[in-house]
A and B are shown apart, each in its own frame.
Chain A
Amino acid sequence: MMIEQQYIDLFNDYRSEIDANSVAGLNRHRDAAFEAFCRLGFPTSKLEDYKHSDLSRAFDGDLGLNLRNIPIPVDPYEAFKCDVPNLNTNVYFLINDRFYANGHQQAPLPDGVFVGSLQRFSETHPDIFNKHYAKIGDCSANGVVAYNTMFAQDGFVIYVPENVTVDKPLQLINILRGGVDLNVNRRILVIAEKNAHVKLLVCDHTVDEVEFVVTQVAEIVAGRDAQVDFYELEENSVKVKLLNNVFAEQAENSNVTVSTITLHNGFTRNNYRFRLLGEHAEAHIGGLAICDKEQHIDNYAFLEHAVPNCHSNELFKYALQERSTGVFCGRILVDKGAQKTLAYQNNKNLITSEEARIFSKPQLEIYADDVKCSHGLTTGQIDQDALFYLQARGIPEEEARMLLMVAFTQDVVDLVRIEMLQDRLIQLINKRFRGELMRCGNCEVCK
Chain B
Amino acid sequence: MIEKIVIQKRPQVRKTAVQFVLSPLFNDLYMANLLKITNLHAVVENKEILKGINLEVNKGEIHAIMGPNGSGKSTLASVLAGNPKFEVTRGSVTFNGKELLDMDPADRAKEGIFLSFQYPIEIPGVSMVNFMRAALNEQRKYRGEEQISASNFLKLMRDKRELLGIDSQLVSRSVNEGFSGGEKKRNEIFQMAMLDPTLAILDETDSGLDIDALRIVASGVNALHRPEKATLVITHYQRLLDYIQPDVVHVLYNGKIIKTGGPDLALELEERGYDWLVNP
Q: Which residues of A contact B (CB under 8 A)?
A: 383-386, 388-397, 399-400, 403-404, 406-411
Contact = CB atoms under 8 A, between A and B. Distances in A.
B110 to A, nearest CB: 5
Given A385-B121, A397-B104, A404-B126, A392 B115 contact: yes
A394 B117 contact: no
B82 A394 contact: no
A403 B131 contact: yes
B139 interface: yes
Given A393-B191, A393-B195, A394-B142, A407 B125 contact: yes
The prevalent SS among residues of A at the interface is helix
Nearest to B108: A392
Contacts of A400: 106
Contacts of A385: 121
A389 B117 contact: yes
A393 B109 contact: yes
What are the 4 A-B residue pairs with the smallest beta carbon separation, nearest first?
Answer: A407-B125, A410-B125, A394-B109, A391-B105
Interface in B93-126: 104-106, 108-110, 114-115, 117, 120-121, 123-126
Contacts of B191: 393
A169 B135 CA distance: 36
B83 interface: yes
A404 B195 CA distance: 21
A411 B106 CA distance: 27
A394 B142 CA distance: 9
B121 A389 contact: yes
Interface in B112-170: 114-115, 117, 120-121, 123-126, 130-131, 134-136, 138-139, 142
A234 B145 CA distance: 40
Contacts of A403: 126, 130-131, 134
Contacts of B199: none
B261 interface: no
B110 A394 contact: yes
A323 B109 CA distance: 34
B138 A388 contact: no
A362 B258 CA distance: 56
Given A390-B131, A391-B109, A394-B139, A406 B121 contact: no
Given A394-B135, A407-B126, 15 more contacts: A386-B123, A388-B85, A389-B120, A389-B121, A389-B175, A390-B126, A390-B135, A391-B104, A391-B109, A392-B105, A395-B131, A395-B135, A399-B134, A400-B106, A403-B131
B135 A388 contact: no
Contacts of B83: 388, 392
Contacts of A408: 125
Given A391-B104, A394-B106, A395-B134, A404 B123 contact: yes
